[in-house]
Amino acid sequence: MSTPEGKVKRKVSELLKKYPGMYYEMPVPGGYGKSGLDYFGCYKGKFFSVETKAPGKKPTERQQLTIAAITRAGGAVFVIDGDTTQLKEWLDHQ
């Protein structure tokens, strides 16, 4: 059985696959290099990132720093713990 966060990741992946021309990746943490979020993607020339969480959970301090850095650089960031509405609306308006 999938973890609560795994269920959220599956929901996000299913949404992203519905958009033609979508590019996204889910980096695999390996202990080397810079830590990132769960998804990095580009849609219609716009960079975005997604951090998935089990329902009710919040990003860690390190994830919050990454979110702030991406936002400062002009990227869109979504923290999703189940409801993908905000991400879908953003994608629909690109």
Confidence at residue 34, expressed as pLDDT on a 0 to 100 scale: 72
pLDDT-derived band of residue 64, with 50, 70 and 90 as boundaries? very high
pLDDT-derived band of residue 80, with 50, 70 and 90 as boundaries? very high
Q: Are 41 and 17 in contact (CB under 8 A)?
A: no
d(CA 36, CA 3): 20
In the chain, domain spans: 1-26+36-47
pTM of the complete model:
0.92
Dig out the tokens for 27 from the structure: 């980096």
Write out pLDDT tens, residues 28-46: 776 676 778 999 999 999 9
